[in-house]
Chain A
């Protein structure tokens, strides 16, 4: 065993011993959620509340709800609405995105395929385009959520189609690879840095009130989609 491995295991063991000596903190486990406000500072709690769906509009867009969607797995729940080509969904009547210039071919292909599937209410195609690790919710869930949301009346295919028509940007994935993200507003570290024209694009999916609340988060944390350089669709997610 090399020294890095030894040190990690040793640190982990000491950490586990430390916590094993502790009783669970006197967190009000049986208290109503409304009485738990003492746990964190107001600022920290606000961040948590917003990021985890206590403010439902963030995940929903246009007042729809979303957030930490459960990994629903029953066949009845995952059956998509797209078997009938004439079926409508949340993207019905949403204009098809215009071409995006400057994208690498792999990214452009995936983006166009996603747009085609979303416009056609084809959730089977959407799920096929989403690879391993594709995320629709930080609380868990992959592409199957997209069809579930459509069934539940909180569909986001229209939102997906609209953001793919917005400007895109690239962000580093932390490993030196680039991820192409829509909308470009997501690439800015602070809300103040986002150019006005990019904020205007967001009006396609958010009301002014929602934009004000997004601004309060400090950076754009609304719906966004990301595709890596190889053309893998990585996420369609809101929140943080």
Chain B
């Protein structure tokens, strides 16, 4: 059984990448990642026995990232931060931040599919496993996401210009 420390060190960066594409800002993404790892840590005796603790972690992350409670918690944190110096801005370019902003507006399942496919670089089989659906459904979510983004990213470009 791998130690939790090893698991954490190995999975942190890829998990954070997925979280950044799903969260409103880098700080929120780091919160998400930490919370997901805490959940794994609490149940490590069990989680470490799964066929793929990594898939389990990602499932927890994407579900949490797109849940209504996550949005509520993010709003609460945003309110709490008002009046305080804002932490350093994310290191993402405006172009990339804009892409993720539009992704956040997609339906929940489409967001998850985009994050896992493009940032996580998971295969269709792996994404289907994480999302608990068929490969066909994953492809459908990705197709719909691209169709939606085709219009929204074009509009975003025009506004930026």
Interface residues, chain A, CB within 8 Å of chain B? Answer: 2-5, 7-12, 14-16, 18-20, 22, 24-25, 27, 29-30, 33, 36, 39-41, 43-45, 47-48, 51-52, 54, 68, 70-71, 73, 132-133, 135, 138-140, 142, 174-175, 217-219, 240
Within 8 Å by CB of A47, from B8, B9, B73, B144, lies B73
- Shortest CB-to-CB span from B160 to chain A, Å, is 13
Q: Does B76 contact A (CB under 8 A)?
A: yes
Interface residues, chain B, CB within 8 Å of chain A? Answer: 4-5, 8-9, 12-14, 16-17, 20-21, 30-31, 33-35, 37-39, 41-43, 46-47, 49-51, 55-56, 59-60, 63-64, 67-69, 72-73, 76-77, 80, 91-93, 95-96, 99-100, 107-109, 114, 118-119, 121, 131-134, 137, 144, 146, 149-150, 153
Within 8 Å by CB of B69, from A16, A20, A47, A132, lies A47
Interface contact B137-A41, CB-CB below 8 Å: no
- Tell me which residues across on chain B come within 8 A of A47, comparing CB atoms: 69, 72-73
Within 8 Å by CB of B67, from A5, A68, A70, A240, lies A240
Nearest A residue (CB) for B38? A36
- Beyond A47-B69, A47-B73, A240-B68, whether A71 also contacts B13 by CB under 8 A is no
Whole-angstrom CA separation of A8 from B63 in the bound complex:
21
Within 8 Å by CB of B60, from A44, A68, A73, A217, lies A68
Interface contact B35-A140, CB-CB below 8 Å: no
- Beyond A5-B146, A54-B42, whether A133 also contacts B109 by CB under 8 A is no
Interface contact B8-A27, CB-CB below 8 Å: yes
- Beyond A25-B12, A140-B59, whether A48 also contacts B39 by CB under 8 A is yes
Whole-angstrom CA separation of A71 from B68 in the bound complex:
25
- Shortest CB-to-CB span from A136 to chain B, Å, is 10
- Shortest CB-to-CB span from A16 to chain B, Å, is 5
Interface contact B73-A20, CB-CB below 8 Å: no
Whole-angstrom CA separation of A138 from B9 in the bound complex:
24
A-B contact pairs, 22 of them (CB 8 A): A5-B146, A14-B93, A15-B100, A18-B91, A22-B13, A24-B13, A25-B12, A40-B31, A40-B35, A41-B73, A41-B80, A47-B69, A48-B38, A48-B64, A52-B60, A138-B59, A138-B63, A140-B55, A140-B59, A174-B107, A217-B69, A218-B69
Interface contact B114-A68, CB-CB below 8 Å: no
- Shortest CB-to-CB span from B28 to chain A, Å, is 10
Whole-angstrom CA separation of A15 from B93 in the bound complex:
9
- Tell me which residues across on chain B come within 8 A of A43, comparing CB atoms: 73, 76
Interface contact B38-A70, CB-CB below 8 Å: no
Interface contact B119-A39, CB-CB below 8 Å: no
- Shortest CB-to-CB span from A229 to chain B, Å, is 16
Nearest A residue (CB) for B20? A15
- Beyond A70-B46, A73-B51, whether A14 also contacts B92 by CB under 8 A is yes
- Beyond A15-B92, A18-B91, A140-B59, whether A240 also contacts B69 by CB under 8 A is yes
Interface contact A140-B92, CB-CB below 8 Å: no
- Shortest CB-to-CB span from A174 to chain B, Å, is 4
Interface contact B118-A9, CB-CB below 8 Å: yes
Interface contact A133-B137, CB-CB below 8 Å: yes
Whole-angstrom CA separation of A240 from B69 in the bound complex:
8
- Beyond A18-B20, A43-B73, A240-B69, whether A174 also contacts B109 by CB under 8 A is yes
- Tell me which residues across on chain A come within 8 A of B9, comparing CB atoms: 24, 29
Interface contact B92-A70, CB-CB below 8 Å: no
Interface contact A24-B100, CB-CB below 8 Å: no
Whole-angstrom CA separation of A240 from B131 in the bound complex:
14
Interface contact B17-A15, CB-CB below 8 Å: yes
- Shortest CB-to-CB span from A40 to chain B, Å, is 6
Interface contact A18-B153, CB-CB below 8 Å: no
Whole-angstrom CA separation of A39 from B39 in the bound complex:
12
